[in-house]
């Protein structure tokens, strides 16, 4: 191995090797033997292997004794030689312990999984050889932390190991005993294979050194009469195996692993509560019972002496006794994995109450789920899953639209692997779905913490999403609409986000949408209901986007559509407009924004051309007054009662979108002018104000009052159309001025100074005729007066 060679040779040795390499380019190098002997290569290089200093590995020395001539090498045609990779054991172990796992706590998951495999092997072999199960008690795992000694002891009553198996399984890194066992089962086709076994990489045991400075393994196999102890220290390349001679430490069957914790880790991992939590998190669904050593308390009654009162004499040999209740603490074994993996059972055998109870326990919820689905997928990818739709939305805003919500728990053979995914199994818009996924052959990395991106993962994701849609559709199709109403109130925004992010599932997302409309202001309807109630001549789905239901109902854009009995969708949430724009069509009907130009309603008015000709001069005159504020002025087809409206261009932002973009905290203000789009000023020729302005432009086009009226009309249209005026204070001043003119003298306010003087004189005469009575304040103060002296 090149790295081992370069690390082992001295500078002079390497220099001596180079001429040999040049003379015999076709000759390979023979790997050093593991013993202290020597091997001679074809090129005349003699290898001497000896022990390195400090036990950190083996040093290899090389000496060039002869060289092969270039001519001879050419005639031989370059002989091929096969070599085996070598590794420095201590360095490899260091990599496994310190570079493979992200969290120290996974050591318990790995060791419990090994114990579960040992129990599974014993149970499997016991089918054909009942003598293996004769002694040893129940198949179980017990974990006992000792805070005083700083140790953790994990005991199982599994198959155990012989001395040779100790050397083979624990003495050889990256060799999995479980994998070898499965291979043997597959070769024996009559016995079949046990898919419940967990291990596959052969490095999980060494995760014990994440927290332990010393590991002691005591094991007894039913195949052997002797019990052996395997012992190793962290950061060492050697281990010790010895026979157990202490009668008190003898096991009937199985394996006992004792971890001597590091000083920095003993306070955390020797805590019984911490161990209990790790077992519940990682190994809650292991098929064998796991017991942990826990401190408990109980109340007991004890007798206490009661003192004799004065004047009473105690009878000889008698003493009054009084009982009291005290709390006693004691240590005992407690079952840590009570919850059973419900997904491993057939759905036909499980009641709805069992699904609800499992959901509450697994995800710490207090409400029943709105819906659930339990399914098994077979074929190219095999996995089992139970998915739930929560009964309410997350209380924390941080959990909304967060792909890392830890709502999906991934298990491999009932052992918890991870709940920290960034969209691998579920898209962001379905992050509210909770559930478990259990598979036997997921593409995990060696640490079992990272789900590798692969075709299998993509297939799993696709099937999980499909099952989730089936579950939501079942809620929407129920006769009781209250369930879907609850779902929409809690998770409607998620579905709209899906319309933006997942174009491939538009056909499944669009029927789930719900909106208020101009005909259904109280209740929300689906797009299917909208399309079913459309008139035959209606070719599009109309919508208006505003900031509230009230502003949508009173928007001037609706007037003509309501008159023609055309239904309009109200988009009142910020995400609505973007979601609809991403859908574009539904059942071959285009979505049309009624606040944009070129609105077509299916039936054009015949008199429209004549009206346009009549008001062409007014349109040009108004455009001249407004200048660059508007792109053009035209006759409106959407107004019936309002004098004017301001619509946006086809390809720019609507008024609602412009408002939302201005409100963005990190928005780019430089793009506002570019994306704002042009504004078209539409006037209603049937309104009195417009008729008066039409007469003004023909008879007195330079009238100041007419020009001021146009300005006020435009700025009023800005507000009624959903835009924000550039100067609200200036607009307010114009409105006040118009009100002053309109209200002048209506309720008897003096119109000139003469009237004011006359009114003043009259008021003076009346004041003289009236005798004013002066009332002195009372000097009487009540007793409760706080200012009284």
pLDDT tens-digit readout, 474-526: 999 988 889 999 999 999 999 999 999 999 999 999 999 999 999 998 899 99
Q: What is the dihedral of CA 298, 299, 304, 310, to 10 degrees?
A: 150
Nearest 5°: the CA angle 650, 656, 658 is: 75
Q: Do 528 and 541 form a contact (C-beta atoms < 8 A)? A: no
d(CA 736, CA 744): 12
H or E segment and range at residue 272: helix 272-282
pLDDT at 663: 80
Query: Residues 335-352: what's their mean pLDDT?
Result: 88
Q: How far is CA 570 from CA 284, 567, 592, in A?
A: 48, 10, 12
pLDDT at 55: 41
pLDDT at 194: 43
Closest CA to 200 of 175, 179, 186: 179
End-to-end CA separation in angstroms for the chain: 107
Q: List CB contacts of 65: < 8 A, sequence separation 6 or more.
A: 44, 45, 46
Query: Residues 54-82: what's their mean pLDDT?
Result: 48
Q: What is the dihedral of CA 609, 615, 616, 620, to 10 degrees?
A: -150
Tell me: pLDDT of 263 over 50. yes
Q: List CB contacts of 501: < 8 A, sequence separation 6 or more.
A: 427, 428, 429
Tell me: pLDDT of 782 over 70. no
pLDDT at 190: 46
Reported pTM: 0.70
pLDDT tens-digit readout, 665-674: 666 666 666 6
Query: Residues 763-776: what's their mean pLDDT?
Result: 51
Q: What is the side-by-side strand order in the sheet with 415-418? A: 371-377, 383-389, 434-439, 408-412, 415-418
pLDDT band, very low/low/confident/very high, at 381 (cuts 50, 70, 90): confident
Q: Do 575 and 493 form a contact (C-beta atoms < 8 A)? A: yes
d(CA 277, CA 143): 12
Q: What percent of the chain has pLDDT over 70?
A: 71
pLDDT tens-digit readout, 673-712: 666 778 999 999 999 999 999 999 999 989 988 998 999 9
pLDDT band, very low/low/confident/very high, at 749 (cuts 50, 70, 90): low
Tell me: pLDDT of 454 over 80. no
Query: Residues 369-375: what's their mean pLDDT?
Result: 94
Tell me: pLDDT of 201 over 80. no
d(CA 152, CA 146): 6
Q: How far is CA 336 from CA 275, 340, 343, 415, 436, in A?
A: 10, 11, 19, 14, 19
Question: DSSP string spanning 4-30?
Answer: HHHHHS-HHHHHHHHHHHHH-TT---P
Tell me: pLDDT of 758 over 90. no
Tell me: pLDDT of 620 over 90. yes
Query: Residues 194-217: what's their mean pLDDT?
Result: 72
Burial of 539 (0-12, 13-18, 19+ CB in 10 A): middle
pLDDT tens-digit readout, 149-158: 999 999 999 9
pLDDT at 151: 95
pLDDT at 40: 38
pLDDT at 324: 79
Q: Do 207 and 101 form a contact (C-beta atoms < 8 A)? A: yes
Q: Which of 153-157, 197-201, 306-310, 466-470 has the lowest mean pLDDT?
A: 197-201
Q: What percent of the chain has pLDDT over 90?
A: 38
> Which DSSP category does 563 fall into?
H
d(CA 585, CA 786): 77
Query: Residues 314-320: what's their mean pLDDT?
Result: 51
pLDDT tens-digit readout, 273-296: 999 999 988 888 888 999 999 988
Alpha-carbon Rg for the chain, nearest whole angstrom, is 43
pLDDT at 717: 92
Strand duo 540-545 + 568-571: pairing: parallel
In this structure, the number of other CB atoms found within 10 A of the CB of residue 361 comes to 13
More confident residue, 562 or 60: 562
In this structure, the number of other CB atoms found within 10 A of the CB of residue 578 comes to 16
pLDDT at 397: 56
pLDDT tens-digit readout, 596-613: 988 887 666 555 777 788
- Token match 């499944």: residue? 508
Averaged pLDDT of the chain: 78
3-state helix, strand and coil shares in percent for the chain, rounded to the nearest 5: 40, 20, 40
Q: List CB contacts of 481: < 8 A, sequence separation 6 or more.
A: none
Tell me: pLDDT of 122 over 70. yes
pLDDT band, very low/low/confident/very high, at 320 (cuts 50, 70, 90): low
Polymer length of the chain: 789
State both tokens at 751. Answer: 């119109």
Residue 233 bridge partners (DSSP): 214
pLDDT band, very low/low/confident/very high, at 104 (cuts 50, 70, 90): confident
Burial of 186 (0-12, 13-18, 19+ CB in 10 A): exposed
Tell me: pLDDT of 574 over 70. yes
Tell me: pLDDT of 110 over 80. yes
Tell me: pLDDT of 544 over 90. yes
């Amino acid at each position: 191995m090149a790295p081992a060679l370069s690390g082992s040779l001295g500078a002079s040795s390497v220099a001596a090797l180079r001429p040999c390499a040049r003379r015999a380019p076709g000759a390979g190098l023979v790997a050093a033997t593991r013993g202290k002997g020597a091997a001679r290569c074809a090129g005349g290089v003699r290898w001497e292997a000896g022990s390195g200093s400090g036990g950190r590995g083996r040093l290899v020395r090389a000496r060039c004794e002869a060289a092969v001539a270039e001519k001879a090498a050419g005639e031989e045609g370059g002989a091929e030689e096969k070599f085996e990779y070598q590794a420095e054991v201590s360095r490899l172990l260091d990599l496994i312990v310190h570079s493979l796992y992200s969290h120290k706590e996974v050591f318990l998951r790995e060791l419990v999984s090994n114990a579960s495999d040992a129990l599974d092997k014993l149970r499997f072999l016991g089918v054909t050889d009942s003598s293996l199960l004769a002694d040893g008690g129940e198949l179980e795992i017990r974990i006992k932390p000792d805070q005083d000694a700083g140790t953790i002891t994990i005991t199982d009553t599994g198959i155990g190991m012989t001395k040779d198996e100790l050397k083979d399984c624990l003495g050889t890194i990256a060799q999995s005993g479980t994998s070898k066992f499965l291979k043997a089962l597959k070769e024996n086709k009559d016995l079949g294979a046990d898919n419940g076994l967990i291990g596959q990489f052969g490095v999980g045991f060494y995760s014990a050194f994440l927290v332990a400075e010393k590991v002691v393994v005591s094991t007894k196999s039913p195949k052997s009469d002797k019990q052996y102890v395997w012992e190793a220290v962290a950061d060492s390349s050697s281990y010790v195996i010895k026979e157990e001679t202490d009668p008190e430490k003898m096991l009937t069957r199985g394996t006992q692993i004792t971890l001597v914790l590091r000083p920095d880790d003993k306070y955390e991992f020797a805590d019984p509560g911490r161990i209990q939590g790790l077992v519940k998190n990682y190994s809650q669904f292991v098929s064998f019972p796991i017991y942990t050593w826990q401190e408990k308390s109980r109340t007991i009654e004890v007798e206490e002496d009661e003192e004799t009162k004065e004047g009473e004499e105690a009878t000889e040999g008698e003493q009054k006794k009084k009982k009291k209740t005290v709390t006693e603490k004691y240590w005992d074994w407690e079952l840590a994995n009570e919850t059973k993996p419900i997904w491993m059972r057939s759905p036909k055998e499980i009641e709805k109450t069992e699904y609800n109870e499992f959901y509450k326990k697994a995800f710490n919820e207090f409400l029943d789920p709105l819906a659930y689905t339990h399914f098994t997928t077979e074929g190219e990818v095999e996995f089992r899953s139970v998915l739930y739709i929560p009964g309410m939305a997350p209380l924390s805003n941080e959990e909304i639209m967060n792909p890392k919500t830890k709502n999906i728990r991934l298990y491999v053979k009932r052992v918890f692997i991870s709940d920290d995914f960034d969209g691998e199994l579920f898209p962001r818009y379905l992050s509210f779905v909770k559930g478990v996924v259990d598979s036997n052959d997921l593409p995990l990395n060696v640490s079992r913490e990272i789900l590798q991106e692969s075709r299998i993962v993509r297939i799993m994701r696709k099937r999980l999403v499909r099952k989730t849609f089936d579950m939501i559709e079942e809620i929407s199709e129920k006769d009781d609409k209250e369930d879907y109403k609850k779902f929409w109130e809690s998770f409607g925004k998620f579905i709209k986000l899906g319309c933006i992010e997942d174009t491939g599932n538009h056909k499944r997302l669009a029927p789930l949408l719900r909106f208020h409309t101009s005909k259904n202001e109280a209740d929300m309807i689906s797009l299917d209901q909208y399309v079913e109630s459309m008139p035959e001549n209606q070719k599009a789905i109309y919508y208006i986007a505003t900031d509230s239901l009230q502003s949508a109902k009173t928007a001037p854009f609706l007037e003509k559509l309501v008159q023609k009995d055309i239904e309009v969708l109200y988009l009142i949430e910020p995400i609505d407009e973007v979601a609809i724009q991403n859908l574009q069509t539904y059942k071959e009907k285009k979505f049309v924004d009624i606040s944009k130009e070129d609105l077509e309603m299916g039936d054009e008015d015949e008199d429209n051309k004549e009206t346009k000709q009549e008001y062409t001069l007014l349109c040009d005159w108004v455009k001249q007054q407004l200048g660059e504020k508007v792109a053009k002025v035209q006759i409106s087809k959407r107004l019936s009662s309002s004098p004017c409206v301001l619509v946006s261009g086809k390809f720019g932002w609507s008024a609602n979108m412009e408002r939302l973009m201005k409100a963005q905290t990190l928005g780019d203000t430089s793009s506002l002018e570019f994306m704002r789009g042009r504004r078209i000023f539409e006037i209603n020729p049937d309104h009195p104000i417009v008729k008066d302005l039409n007469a003004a432009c023909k008879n007195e086009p330079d009238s100041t009052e007419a020009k001021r009226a146009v300005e006020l009309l435009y700025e009023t249209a800005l507000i009624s159309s959903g835009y924000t005026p550039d100067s609200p204070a200036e607009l307010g001043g114009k409105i006040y001025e118009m009100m002053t003119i309109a209200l002048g003298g209506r309720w008897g306010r003096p119109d000139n100074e003469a009237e004011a003087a006359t009114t003043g004189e009259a008021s003076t005469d009346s004041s003289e005729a009236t005798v004013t009575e002066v009332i002195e304040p009372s000097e009487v103060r009540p007793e409760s007066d706080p200012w009284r002296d």
